[in-house]
Structure 1
Amino acid sequence: MKNNLILKEGYKSIAIIFIVAIFLNLFVSDCLGTLGILLGLFVVYIYRGSNRHIFTNTQSVLAPIDSTITAIDKVNGKYKIYCKVGLLDNHIVRAPCNSTLKVKKHRHGLNLNVDSYKASLYNEQIVLKFEDIKLKFISGFFDKRVKKIQEKEVVQGDKISIFIDGLVVISVPQTKVLLVQIGDKLTSGQTILFKK
């Protein structure tokens, strides 16, 4: 898998911010220009690439994205693992296992603060299905539109998309023994959620 220093999804945003920053610096104010350049550097950090080694193992299911587990519920015979993705996390969504990726639902919506109750009702959402797990992405305040994801065969650790900010709900059959708990920091392609 080819790793880049900056993800291609961020090129447009970064270019616009730096062009505006240069314009502000030349024609308006040095202070505003400097703030624009600092904002641009922060956006470069958000869209940074990842040079990590993926621990492929067909007997385990890996974390799909860098995040922090905020809750784990048991609902209708399934574990629901709630993972908060922040701006400082790495935003690459990776395949948790070898499987056929299926898009179950893609609903356009708002970008409210993901901590509010209304976010689960009105924010943009996409639901992906792999073998026996389901991933529900609820976009947050800073996330742009979630790009349409094509259904395809994926290998564990493959890049699927990016997800900047929001909540990821991982649904797992209750028959599986979870190897994570509330408060754990997940690392995509490295943290093992459960064994098959």
Structure 2
Amino acid sequence: MWDIDKQGIPQFVSTNYIELDKIAQISKFRSSVGHDYSDAFEHCRSMKHYFKPFDDIVWSTVNIYSPIDGIITRIEQEIYGTKIEIESKQYPAFRFQLFHLTPDHEIKINDEVAAGEYVGKHASQDTYADISVIVNDPSKQGRFISWFDVVTNTLFEAYKDRGAISRNDFIISKELRDAYPLDCNNFGFNDPLEKWFNLNERLR
């Protein structure tokens, strides 16, 4: 277990899970992109990040990597590709879900993966790549946090090189989202808040 309120959030992830130079936009945590993806503490908001490649990129060529040293604890087949969940070895209370993946080799529960290890490609041009981070909270209900909460300052430099100023560029605060709540029956409709952060042109 890990109590965020008492212990804070460790910034321990030093490896991108995706080829960042192929990515044009990243959805904001608590945005109205996609569908409701919330936890027991918040409601009706997307508490993960979608990564959208540039228009000239064939999405199925985008490489996906393990962001951490960890153990695969869950594998699920989706409409587009496979979702895998990786539990951190360093902080076992932290779990990373990688969505819409096409593995290039057999992946099994309890397989160990290393940070930066290639695990496959993004599955389809029909859906964005996305990642969520779950913390095993003392409530035992699981708590979503942003990918940008756990990346190291060194890794975040890669995002600053693409135009970001701070981690908050990728996060809608709970207070702001609460002030502009979403309708789960019409998710994303008439949302006045910016949904995406646009990255500067990729390095050539």
Structure possessing the higher relative contact order (Cα contacts under 8 Å, 6 or more residues apart)? 2
More strand by share: 1
For Structure 1 versus Structure 2, the TM-score category normalised by the shorter chain is 0.3 to 0.5
Query: Whose helix fraction is larger, Structure 1's or Structure 2's?
Result: 1
Rg bigger for which structure? 1
Per the normalisation by structure 1, the TM-score is 0.42
TM-score normalised by structure 2 residue count: 0.41
